[in-house]
Structure 1
């Protein structure tokens, strides 16, 4: 009987120790939110830092991380190892503990809606601000102010994160755009049939209508001053087909006297480049959170 009690106590202590260790690890979860605006369920993948489950009084800064064309909410985590990169940077002190969330705004562009803007049949930007952001920041322990909220993304998501920062500077303290779809290349009016109502054509029109370059060029002095309240970082590879539009954005920002960091590194429009960009992105937004 004594041996049984000893074994039971030993196993119980072992289980408690395992549970405590598990609570200290970071977690990645996927969940869904029902959108009345989109009339659909939308998935999101979220990273919760180590100790999130055990330290229930602590609130965290948040990074909204946007995927590219044909990507989905899990793309960043499966193709760029966000969890592993953030775990390593946090352990070395280069990044602070934060919540990272990636919503689903994509899929096969020929059959699924893509894009972070409002367009006929797909009012995604309304969904993001009226439903998604409030849901995340009430469901999870988010600090919930400008200084502790950042947005970043790649390609289509890089343009989306830039546009979100432009139109909602009161919400975001920093923006990090990677290989961003700031605008369409030359001859953009020939990119799509102007009368087409396909999902891909509507996405193309929305990018033209929400040009990040044109926004800066046409910005009022009041809008420029609001943009100066954000820390900006633009990062694009020298072999990227979107490099010219990123350079155009940099020139527009410089002419408007809006500070930003701009990097052209060796690389193309691919996951190898975007995973390496995380090594700059996560410390950059961390610096904003610590201000």
Structure 2
């Protein structure tokens, strides 16, 4: 039996075990009011919930880290207002150069609402809270420089995005607290930013993804994921799941992606690297956002099974579900 077949068999066995255990418990206990849980993914939206168009809006918060009000975008999942006891996974989407929190949802650029509606309708992504941070530093956005997702002279953007905004989101929305249900990704400099910020905030994010990103930064090894990732703890390496893609015509980023994927494989960090036709354009990123979010959805579900196995006393160290 190959590795993939073994993995599938393990997951099916776990689901069967969980189902049997649940049936036994229900049969043995008197009926009682179910208590809300913060460790289980929300169910896929029903027809009525899917019929309501997804929305997106901008919000602000007082950033102590940046010393000014900061903006972020948010799209709440279908059923969020109705299912008041349910908690949700969270996905941060980082913009690239000359961008802002609107970029991923702009009708001429990212068109993320269309992608999300399709993924929810086809059960490829569990209902999730989508957050688009402001990745610009104190200089603001400009065609002459990319956002700096670092803590540096122009502001502590990495801390603002990876720590401060996480706390704001947890306060304002019903989120699943475990980092296995938090993901962060982005495009171009936001793809680098997602990996860089994520690696500096591993207690908060376990799933990272990058479209057309680069992995070496001129500020040095501390903000160059291809170098920095070698120094994270063995426990963090086991927990991480990383998705990468680059366009075949996007030669520089494609080469960086190949090099980074090679390092991830050497470190035995779970990853997927796709090389798709295309270049460094919104057309490419729009098309492949569904691929990264499908990966994220798969990892959310694997984590749910793993957490259920932990609750049943299953030894994940001997039988890892996805590493």
Change (3 A) 1:23 1:279: closer
| TM-score (norm. length: structure 2) | 0.71
Give aligned pairs, total.
Answer: 249
- Residue 51 (structure 1) shift: 1.7
Question: Over residues 141-174 of structure 1, what are the superposed CA-to-partner deviations in whole Å (9 max), with x where a residue is unaligned?
Answer: 1112111111111111111111233233332221
Change (3 A) 1:162 1:112: closer
Tell me the equivalent position of 1:117.
Answer: 150
| Counterparts of residues 123-162 of structure 1 (less than 5 Å) | 123-162=156-195
Tell me the equivalent position of 2:37.
Answer: none
Tell me the equivalent position of 2:56.
Answer: 28
Structure 2 residue matching 1:42: 3-state secondary structure: strand
Question: Over residues 87-116 of structure 1, what are the superposed CA-to-partner deviations in whole Å (9 max), with x where a residue is unaligned?
Answer: 111011122111110011135336888221
Tell me the equivalent position of 1:89.
Answer: 119
CA distance in 1, matches of 2:165, 2:198: 16
Structure 2 residue matching 1:228: 3-state secondary structure: helix
For the aligned residue pairs, the C-alpha RMSD in angstroms reads: 2.3
| TM-score (norm. length: structure 1) | 0.79
Tell me the equivalent position of 1:57.
Answer: 85
Are the equivalent residues in 1 in contact too, given 2:100–2:141 (CA < 8 A)?
Answer: no
Of structures 1 and 2, the larger Rg is shown by: 1
Which structure 2 residue ranges, 5 or more long, are not aligned? 1-47, 303-323
Change (3 A) 1:53 1:242: same
Matched, 1:237 2:270: no
CA distance in 2, matches of 1:115, 1:24: 37
Are the equivalent residues in 1 in contact too, given 2:221–2:227 (CA < 8 A)?
Answer: no
Matched, 1:101 2:114: no
Are the equivalent residues in 2 in contact too, given 1:236–1:263 (CA < 8 A)?
Answer: yes
- Residue 255 (structure 1) shift: 2.1
CA distance in 2, matches of 1:290, 1:215: 28
